[in-house]
Amino acid sequence: MKLIGSYTSPFVRKISILLLEKGITFEFVNDQPYSAESSAAQYNPLGKVPALVTDDGDCWFDSPILAEYIEQLGIAPAMIPREPEAALAVKQIEALADGIMDAALTSVREQARPAAQQSESELLRQREKINRSLDYCEALIRDGKIAPDAFDLGTIAIACAIGYLNFRRVAPGWCVERPLLVKLAEAHFSRESFARTEPPKA
C-alpha cells in the first residue's frame, strides 16, 4: 500500500495516523501538490493529496474516503462506530476539523501573496471560521458529545487541525479559554502515531 502526500499536509497526517494506529504497513511517497514536479494528478485528477494506492493497484483519493476505506478493512482498533447515527456524528466532527484545515490552508496561501495583494477581509473570514469551529469543538467536549478520553476518526482530525494551526502559526492564541480542547489535543500529541507524523521543522 502506498500513501501519496506531503509531510506538512494535515489531511495526509490524518490518514498516516489511521494507518499507524491500525498497524497497517505502507510506503509513504512524498509529493508536494503545488510543485511543478508533482505527480499528484496521476492519482487524483484534482491534483490534491492524500491519495492511497492499494496492493491490488486500486487508487482512492480525498481523505474522508481514504478514512472510510481504511476502516472497511476491518482492522482494529475501530475508528468509526458501527451504529449508523454514532458513525455519522464522528464523520461530522471529521468534516468540521477538515473545514478548520481548509480555512488554515487558505490563510497560509493568502499570507504567502505579496502584502499589497493580500485580502484582509478574506483572512478575517477564515479566522472567524476557525474560531467558530474551535468553539464548537470545545462545546462538544463540554456537553459530553465528545468523551474527554475519546480517540477516533473525529478526534484524530481535530488534533491534526490543531497541529496544523500550531505548525503554521495560524490563529495564535487559539487555546485561550478552550481548556478541554487543549487537553484533548495534548493527549493525542503524546501518542507515538502523532509523534511520528509531526511536520518537519522549517
94 in the same domain as 35: no
- pTM tops 0.85: yes
Nearest-angstrom CA–CA distance, 157 and 201: 21
Specify the pLDDT at position 49. Answer: 98
Q: Do both 163 and 125 map to the same domain?
A: yes
Residue 79 lies in a domain: no
Which pairing describes strands 59-61 and 51-53: parallel, antiparallel, or unpaired? antiparallel
Provide mean pLDDT across the span 65-74: 98
- Regarding whether 59 and 10 lie in a shared domain, the answer is yes
Residues 93, 38, single domain; the answer is no
In angstroms, how far apart are the furthest CA atoms of the chain? 51
Does 93 lie in the same domain as 53?
Answer: no
Residue 26 lies in a domain: yes
Query: In the predicted model, what is the mean pLDDT of residues 107-125?
Result: 96
Is 201 a member of any domain? no
Burial class (CB in 10 A: 0-12, 13-18, 19+), 84: exposed
CA 134, distance to chain mean position in Å, is: 14
- Side chain identity, residue 74: G
What mean pLDDT comes out for the span 85-106? Answer: 98
**pLDDT at position 162:** 98
The answer to whether the beta carbons of residues 19 and 69 sit under 8 Å apart is no
Residues 118 and 19 in one domain: no
Predicted local confidence at residue 83, as pLDDT = 97
Same-domain status, 58 and 88: no
Judged against a pLDDT cut of 70, whether residue 78 lies above it is answered with yes
* Per-residue pLDDT at 5: 97
Residue 75's φ and ψ, nearest 5 degrees, are: -95, 130
| Arithmetic mean of pLDDT, 80-107 | 98
Domain boundary among 48, 72, 96: 72
162 and 102 part of one domain: yes
Residues of the chain with pLDDT > 90, as a percent, come to 96
Domain assignment of residue 78, yes or no? no
Mean pLDDT taken over the chain:
97
70 — pLDDT class (breaks 50, 70, 90):
very high
Q: Do 99 and 50 have their domain in common?
A: no
Domain of 157: which CATH number? 1.20.1050.10
Q: Is residue 121 part of a domain?
A: yes
pLDDT for res 36: 85
Mean pLDDT of 100-122: 96
Average pLDDT of 130-147?
Answer: 98
| Same domain as 108, residue 162 | yes
pLDDT at 149 over 90: yes
139 in any annotated domain: yes
The average pLDDT across 169-183 equals 96
- Identify whether residues 89 and 63 lie together within a single domain: no
Name the band, by pLDDT with cuts 50, 70 and 90, for residue 202.
low
- The count of structural domains within the chain is 2
My answer on whether 61 and 133 are in the same domain is no
Residue 34 belongs to a domain: yes
Which domain CATH number covers 21? 3.40.30.10
Domain of residue 20, residue span? 2-72
Does the pLDDT value for residue 173 go beyond 90? yes
The answer to whether residue 34 scores a pLDDT higher than 90 is no
Alpha carbons 59 and 57: distance in angstroms, whole number:
6
Write the CB contacts of 169 (distance below 8 Å, at least 6 apart in sequence). Answer: none
